Structure 1
Amino acid sequence: MRQNLSAEEALEAILERARPIAELEHLPLTAAFGRTLGADLAAKVNHPQTNDTAVDGYACREADSHTAQPDSPVRLRVIGVSPAGRPFEGRVGPGEAVQVFTGAPIPPGADAVVRVEDTRREGDFVWLLKPATPSDIRPQGTDLTEGKTYLFKGDRLTPGRVALAAAMGHASLPVVRRPRVGILVTGDEVVEPGQPLPYGGVYNANGYALTGLVAEAGGEPIPLGRAHDDIEGLRARLAQAGPLDLLLTSGGVSMGDYDIVRQLVEREGEVHFWRVRIQPGGPLLFATWRGLPLLGLPGNPVSTMVTFLLFGRPLLFRLLGRSDPPYQQVEAVAETPFEAHPTRRAYRRAVLRWEKGEYRAASTGNQSSVVLHSMALGNALVAVEAGASKGVGEVLLAIPFPEN
């Protein structure tokens, strides 16, 4: 069993054992938002389907309009009207024009458009005050070319990408099945919110934090409740979980007699590593139990959330085959001091904001791993290398929290 890994070594060990999910689901467009595309997607049509107008105006022959000026306008006969979706069926000849509206196909014979604000209408005729131009014609396939791939396996389906898929002619999309992630909280002291809190008890914040974090990262959270501090109870709780792709546990991974998660996987599984040189979250454990990847997160609430963001979220992205990075990293200027740990990289909670062309970061205050409100007040982690505290005005590395 490897111990005391760096954050980079720990993440590498986790990701090298992650096997992307191959199972796909086909969902209608309305159900595909936020999911991960499971295959490359090509356009079924051209867009625009034909040359069309980008403006309201009149389609005509450019040669008929090149002398048009406000003081010497050119008169053309209007032979028809073409709104979007109702193409003009005739042909534009010399001295003729068709009134067109944005999105309407350019009628045969026309090769230019004059904007409506550059015309004056008189009955069946229109006076052109400026020359018509081809620049307001959108050529066929300007946006999409039939057969060309525009969306790729691993893309997260944002509203813009779902809209693009719809424009490409797809009514349903192949998406990667959501990873089923079991969430198990351990500890005799843990009580569900709403129940009377006994002396020495704590409410179950970690289970709900992980449920939200897993869902935001694209997984399907499977709450498994709480396991008491005994191995038989833990084993029984896990046996009821059903098929999972990943098991997250909170608590029970340190060195005490009641750290049952570590004891269980040491006896019945394979521990790939234990402990990482970070603060908070040092007692992180990664193991395989009965073929199931198990990420054992520390029990303090901040430690649980920080280690999920740094290690659990990248693991879920790998299972989904997502092509985007699991988190961003930006440089920021410190507005408050950020204290280092002497031997570990510290991840401090911060409020990150953009001001005058740069990011600025201020501490949320008390950085203890039991101060959960720092995760509610803050919107980023600040990485402070071991022994290298950051003072006001110094540049540091910040990791913004994912947007919920």
Structure 2
Amino acid sequence: MTHASSDFARFVSLEEAQAAVRSALPQPATEWVAPEAAFGRRLAQALPAQVAHPSATESSLDGIAAREADTLAAAAGSPVTLQVVGESRAGEPYAGEVNAGECVRIYTGAPLPPGTDAICPVEQLEFASDGGSVRLLTPARPQDVRHFGDDFAPGDELLPAGARLTPARVALAVAGGHDRLPVLRRWRVALLSTGDEVRAPGTALKPGEVYDSNRYGLHGLLLECGAEVLDLGHAPDDVDELAARLSAVGGADLLLTSGGVSMGRYDFMRDLLIERGEVTFWKIRLRPGGPTLLGRWNGLSVLGLPGNPVSSLVVFELLVRPALTGQGLRVTRLRAGAPFGTAGQKTAFWRGELRGSEVVPYPKQSSGVLRSLSDARVLVRVGPGQPVAAGDEVEVLWLD
């Protein structure tokens, strides 16, 4: 299908580009996985507790369980003596009821016997040699009792939909009674780098050639976002070869390419999608990363990233990561320790270094200086025509 230039948007805003990339992805599917397979995944729906935690009123430490009223007079110089009538431990609670003047030896996590309401820690106890009685050097404390359902009760929401399953959250889900977890299916992202000048690492370079750093940087970012990567390797600057490689992609939700989308004579990815595919937008009012292109090839969404390494990785952070993770940009505000200029009518994201509690520009802002993304901690957002002076607050996007 051939498209005239008026058939697609040019010079869209960052917000328009973000919305378009989100819309280009299909509706996420749900799958149920075992807890050990859930780490790093995102919940497809809110997760309610199926049981209470604690499942009984229990002790938070080792000691004795007693009636608080029986122990209030206890002190190091005038201990209170109680009769020990049994013990309660996790998995084997005390079966009887504790009366006035009595106590039960108890261990962390063990249920409190009926009749008791407080715990005295073992460090404040002196047991008789036969174990039949104990002297308390301090009063028993109700604060050391964990009550039934203190953490959560059946029906309480443990985690919201969309929550990323960290180890602590997986542990919480299991404690709440779940042996299978509903998670979003991993996005399947195909990755293709292009360019006649691009070479695989480990080969000798001729003048003007570069190693395929974009492919490896983007691969790592995709894994960081929890995506399944279909690595298509590298393709030369040839329209027919690119068409064949795109047509061979199967089972992907998105094809991510780097290179070939700018204004040059040999930017064949741009030509291929404009002349024989579909284009949603070409160019963003953004620096770095302006030549980015979004389109479709035989029904597959294709996001063409610029070939300059900084541009490629920055656009990923701004467009791809939010779309794949369902999360907004990781932003905060810091004070500028030096001026940040504008990029005309474009939104600029300058690499920034931290100096104490302030942020200053990285010395080299060229989109070909890949070292800047390795050294910088943040990207500093500067709006169109809105230069930042030293001392101003700026919005920053964290890179680590």
TM category, shorter: over 0.9
The equivalent residue for 1:382 is 380
Aligned to 2:337: 335
> Match for residue 43 of structure 1?
49
Which of 5, 9, 17 matches 1:2?
9
SS in 1 for 2:74: coil
Alpha-carbon displacement from aligned partner over 1:349-368 (angstroms, at most 9, x marks no partner): 11246x4xxx4212221100
Give per-residue Cα distances to partners, 1:158-197, cap 9 Å, x unaligned.
1111110121122332221111111111111110010111
**Structure 1 position 369 matched with structure 2 position 367:** yes
> Does structure 1 residue 262 correspond to structure 2 residue 270?
yes
Question: The residue matched to 2:318 in structure 1 has which SS?
Answer: helix
Aligned amino acid, residue 124 of structure 2: D
Counterpart of 1:206?
Answer: 214
Structure 2 equivalent of residue 78 of structure 1: 84
Q: Which moved more, 1:161-170 or 1:294-303?
A: 161-170
By how many angstroms is 1:218 displaced? 1.8
Give me the whole-angstrom Cα distance separating, in 2, the residues matched to 1:32 and 1:352: 35
Contact 2:194/2:237 (<8 A) preserved: yes
Q: 288-297 or 76-85, which moves further after superposition? A: 76-85
Measured in 2, the distance between the counterparts of 1:398 and 1:278 equals 15
The alpha-carbon deviation at position 199 of structure 1 amounts to 2.8
Q: Using the alignment, how far apart are the partners of 2:142 and 2:37 within structure 1?
A: 40
Q: 1:136 aligns with which of 129, 132, 144?
A: 144
**More displaced, 161-170 or 81-90?**
81-90
Shift of 1:120: 2.6
CA distance in 1, matches of 2:329, 2:15: 14
Q: Deviations 1:103-125 (Å, cap 9, x if unpaired)?
A: 11101222222233333322321
The offset of 1:375, in angstroms, is 0.7
Q: Distance in 2 between matches of 1:400 and 1:33?
A: 23
1:276-287 to 2 correspondences below 5 Å: 276-287=284-295
Shift, 1:152, TM fit: 2.6
> Is 1:160–2:140 an aligned residue pair?
no
Deviation, 1:65, is: 2.5
Match of 2:311 in 1: 303
Distance 2:104 2:237 in 1: 81
Distance, in Å, in 1 between the alignment partners of 2:377 and 2:76 is 58
Q: CA deviation at 1:398?
A: 0.6
Instruction: Tell me how far apart the structure 1 counterparts of residues 304 and 296 of structure 2 sit (CA, whole Å).
Output: 10
Q: Distance in 1 between matches of 2:354 and 2:39?
A: 28
Give the alignment's Cα RMSD to 1 decimal: 1.8
Structure 1: 5+ residue stretches without partners? none
Q: Which runs of 4+ in 1 moved over 4 A?
A: none
Report how many residues are paired. 391
Instruction: Say yes or no: does 1:349 pair with 2:355.
Output: no
In 1, the alpha carbon distance for the partners of 2:14 and 2:329 equals 15
Distance across 1 between alignment mates of 2:202 and 2:210: 12
Write the mapping of 1:5-404 to structure 2, written as runs, cut at 5 A: 5-22=12-29, 24-123=30-129, 124-317=132-325, 322=326, 325-352=327-354, 355=356, 359-401=357-399, 403=400
SS in 2 for 1:59: strand
**CA shift for structure 1 position 300:** 0.4
Q: Give the CA deviation at 1:138.
A: 0.9
* Local SS of the residue matching 2:174: helix
**1:352 and 1:400 in contact (8 A); partners too:** no
Contact kept, 8 Å, 2:25 with 2:253, in 1: the verdict is no
Moved more, 118-127 or 180-189: 118-127
Please state whether the residue corresponding to 1:275 is helix, strand or coil.
strand
Q: Which moved more, 1:383-392 or 1:363-372?
A: 383-392
2:247–2:298 CA contact under 8 A, matched in 1: no
Aligned to 2:380, the other structure's residue is in SS state strand
- Could you tell me how far apart the structure 2 residues matched to 1:239 and 1:171 are? 40
- Quote the Cα distance in structure 2 between the aligned partners of 1:253 and 1:122: 84
> 1:114 is aligned with what amino acid?
C
**Alpha-carbon separation, structure 2, partners of 1:112 and 1:10:** 60
| TM-score, L = length of structure 1 | 0.91
Deviations 1:91-111 (A, max 9, x none): 212221111122111012222
Q: How far apart are the structure 1 equivalents of 2:155 and 2:391?
A: 53
Identity of aligned residues (%): 45
SS, match of residue 48 in structure 1: coil
Q: How far does residue 256 in structure 1 lie from its aligned partner after superposition? A: 2.4
Give the aligned residue type for 1:37: L
2 CA distance for matches of 1:350 and 1:116?
54
